[in-house]
């Protein structure tokens, strides 16, 4: 146990809202007192009259192991000898109203398998990591100028043994990693694996913020999963939900008989849209809880980043609420000023503790400077999901190609703001569930056109500035939308069109990884330049992606109609000869084979604002990537 002065200092910092490792103070920890081994328990419950530790070891009798209130601000502690790893326990809390409540430990590192809800003692120091090389390389990497392509998955519905019976984290590592690595992704993003009572919340309604869900194994099993990802060159990002928590009786709701983790004011506490409760972002102990939680996942599990869920719901008091269900802030606005302050404080703390991490905001509004540092007025994240691009592009792709010319702005508008934030282009689970249809099935047209549209969309996505994210199943064109109680339709890979789509994603990733123009200047305006954004009548756009090397440039031409065009003129920035290095219409991908096989020499006549142009075949519903392969005589002479 920490010495008395250290303990007092930690308690002081906890109540001040600045204890960044509060999970070391609170919760259940192996300890030795007076030469006897046991478990030290500590919990924050300022409104409780009495708190006891109960479990099988004392027949759930709260009279056996009462806790001592060690300060006026409500931290209770107890040391129970001869308990060890695996002990099942809860806190029995006597409220000021005379009611007894059984609560899971808010700081528990492990829990019973649902539907049981007790906490489980689990030390954090049992696992030996073997990812030193990855962690060193991560510190040296400039992630902003590196390729980032994220495979988002929900473990339980990626593949299972049978309904509601899942593989272990270690078994998932052996299955997921080779598959994702073969496809060429750089990162995996997991839907929340924090402990949650209801499978169909997908982890977004949490009860155990510090606990790895026991559905798939133990904390050490999950560490193995992350460790193996790192050893095989894959980063791991975890969805994290600091905005709200569920109301299950054993969880945080009215933890000690009063509103503690949630706001006391119901208009601020209630998330009526989701039936959950908002954290009290004005309470300093809640700051210590949530900031410690973010740091915990990044430090203890070596995670490479957190995708922070539903940031807009934290920023705005009226989010998801009807008139009369919310109150203006002290300045007469709808912003949650306490939440804004908390978010900035959280990001500052995280980047001080883990500078080489990713903090990605799922933020769906026009709030400015989300991914900018706090010292210039930003929220302090380093990435933001580009929800505007996602909505515009899906709306455009769902439109019949005949009518796309009337919606041309949907594919060009994103470039007006593409460099205002550090963006991730997300096609997430939220877009392929609840009747929205799968990504493939959103596409109009006949069977062939659906796959061609999908390839064109993904080709444009990987050519567009911003890091990439695609939800599982999209990589092989799953026909059905995400079925969260079933696993993916892996049998579709026995069919040519789906196998070819998976192969397309693999080769598209290889192109992406090998092409610095597609990622090196992702967040700078000089990384992108339009060639032709105005050809709405034919639904064709062309542009250049640039890298820091002036001669390293890709020309991208996208056709969003089924029409083939021969001898189509495309302006190009430089003289020389161009080669089509990748086409979504290649026959091996299921395309029609309208490719450009030979060299495309420049013609010295101005076109589309360029001094010269090439003529090429434009494939139907296709994306072509061109690269200059030889320089002009003038450039050779200059050298």
Residue 142 parent element (H or E):
none
Of 554, 550, 590, 307, the closest CA to residue 446 belongs to: 590
- Could you tell me if 326 and 316 are in contact, meaning their C-beta atoms sit under 8 angstroms apart? no
**Which H or E run includes 571?**
strand 565-572
Residue 98, Cβ neighbours under 10 Å: how many? 8
- Catalytic-role residue among 92, 131, 285, 362: 362
C-alpha pair distances (Å), 520 with each of 137, 144, 207, 268, 396: 17, 7, 40, 43, 27
SS3 for 24?
helix
> Residue for token digits 């515009």?
392
How far apart are the C-alpha atoms of 576 and 422, rounded to whole Å?
Answer: 34
* Among the listed residues 453, 445, 451, the one whose alpha carbon sits nearest the alpha carbon of residue 476: 451
- Among residues 92, 227, 309, 481, the one annotated as catalytic is 309
Known catalytic membership, residue 362:
yes
φ, ψ dihedrals at 161, nearest 5°: -80, -50
- The helix/strand/coil state of 617 is strand
3-state secondary structure at position 374: helix
Strands (E), 82-197: 88-94, 100-103, 110-111, 119-120, 149-153, 187-190, 194-195
DSSP class of 69: E
Instruction: State the maximum Cα–Cα separation within the chain, in Å, rounded to a whole number.
Output: 92
State how far the Cα of 248 lies from the Cα of 111, in Å rounded to an integer.
15
**Can 152 be counted among the known catalytic residues?**
no
Cα(112)–Cα(130) distance, rounded to whole angstroms? 28
Active site residues: 309, 362
């Amino acid at each position: 146990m920490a010495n008395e002065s250290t303990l007092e200092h930690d308690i002081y910092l906890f109540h001040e809202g600045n204890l960044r490792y509060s999970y070391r103070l609170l919760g259940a920890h192996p300890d030795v007192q007076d030469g006897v081994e046991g478990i030290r328990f500590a919990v924050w419950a300022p409104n409780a009259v009495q708190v006891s530790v109960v479990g099988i070891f004392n027949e759930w009798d709260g009279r056996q192991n009462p806790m001592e209130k060690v300060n006026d601000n409500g931290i209770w502690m107890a040391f129970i000898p001869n308990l060890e790893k695996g002990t099942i326990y809860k806190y029995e809390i006597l409220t000021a109203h005379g009611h007894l409540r059984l609560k899971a430990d808010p700081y528990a590192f492990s829990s019973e398998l649902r539907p049981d809800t007790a906490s489980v003692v689990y030390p954090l120091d049992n696992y030996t990591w073997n990812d030193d090389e990855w962690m060193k390389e991560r510190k040296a990497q400039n992630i902003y100028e590196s390729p980032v392509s994220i495979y988002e998955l929900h473990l339980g519905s990626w593949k299972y043994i049978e309904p509601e019976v899942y593989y272990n984290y270690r078994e998932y590592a052996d299955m997921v990693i080779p598959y994702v690595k073969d496809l060429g992704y750089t990162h995996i993003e997991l839907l929340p694996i924090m402990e949650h009572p209801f499978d169909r919340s997908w982890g977004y309604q949490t009860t155990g913020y510090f606990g790895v869900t026991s559905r798939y194994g133990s904390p050490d099993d999950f560490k193995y999963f992350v460790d193996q990802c790192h050893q095989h060159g894959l980063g791991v990002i975890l969805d994290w939900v600091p905005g709200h928590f569920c109301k299950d009786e054993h969880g945080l709701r009215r933890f000690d008989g009063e509103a503690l983790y949630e706001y006391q004011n119901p208009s601020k506490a209630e998330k009526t849209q989701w039936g959950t409760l908002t954290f009290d972002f004005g309470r300093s102990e809640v700051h210590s809880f949530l900031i410690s939680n973010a740091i915990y996942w990044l430090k203890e599990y070596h995670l490479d980043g957190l995708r922070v869920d539903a940031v807009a719901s934290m920023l705005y008091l009226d989010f998801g609420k009807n008139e009369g269900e919310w109150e203006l802030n002290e300045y007469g606005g709808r912003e949650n000023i306490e939440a804004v302050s908390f978010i900035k404080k959280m990001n500052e703390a995280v980047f001080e503790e883990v500078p080489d991490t990713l903090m990605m905001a799922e933020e769906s509004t026009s709030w400015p400077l989300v991914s900018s540092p706090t010292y210039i007025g930003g929220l302090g994240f380093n990435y933001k999901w580009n929800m505007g691009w996602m909505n515009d592009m899906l709306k455009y792709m769902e439109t019949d190609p005949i009518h796309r010319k009337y919606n041309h702005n949907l594919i060009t508008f994103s470039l007006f703001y593409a460099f205002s934030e550090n963006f991730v282009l997300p096609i997430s689970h939220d877009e392929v569930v609840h009747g929205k249809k799968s990504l493939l099935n959103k596409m109009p047209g006949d069977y062939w056109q659906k796959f061609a549209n999908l390839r064109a969309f993904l080709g444009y996505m990987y050519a567009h500035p911003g890091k990439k994210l695609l939800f599982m199943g999209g990589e092989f064109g799953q026909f059905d939308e995400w079925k969260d109680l079933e696993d993916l339709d892996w049998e579709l890979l026995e069919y040519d069109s789906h196998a070819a789509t998976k192969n397309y994603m693999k080769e598209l990733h290889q192109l992406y990884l090998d092409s610095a123009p597609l990622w090196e200047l992702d967040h700078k305006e000089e990384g992108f330049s339009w060639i032709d954004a105005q050809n709405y009548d034919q639904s064709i756009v062309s542009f250049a992606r640039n890298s820091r090397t002036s001669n390293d440039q890709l020309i991208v031409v996208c056709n969003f109609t089924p029409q083939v065009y021969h001898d189509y003129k495309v302006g190009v920035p430089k003289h020389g000869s161009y080669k089509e290095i990748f086409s979504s219409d290649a026959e091996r991908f299921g395309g029609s084979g309208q490719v450009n096989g030979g060299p495309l020499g420049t013609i010295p006549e101005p076109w589309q604002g360029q001094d010269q142009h090439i003529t090429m075949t434009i494939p139907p519903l296709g994306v072509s990537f061109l690269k200059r392969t030889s320089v002009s005589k003038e450039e050779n002479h200059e050298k």
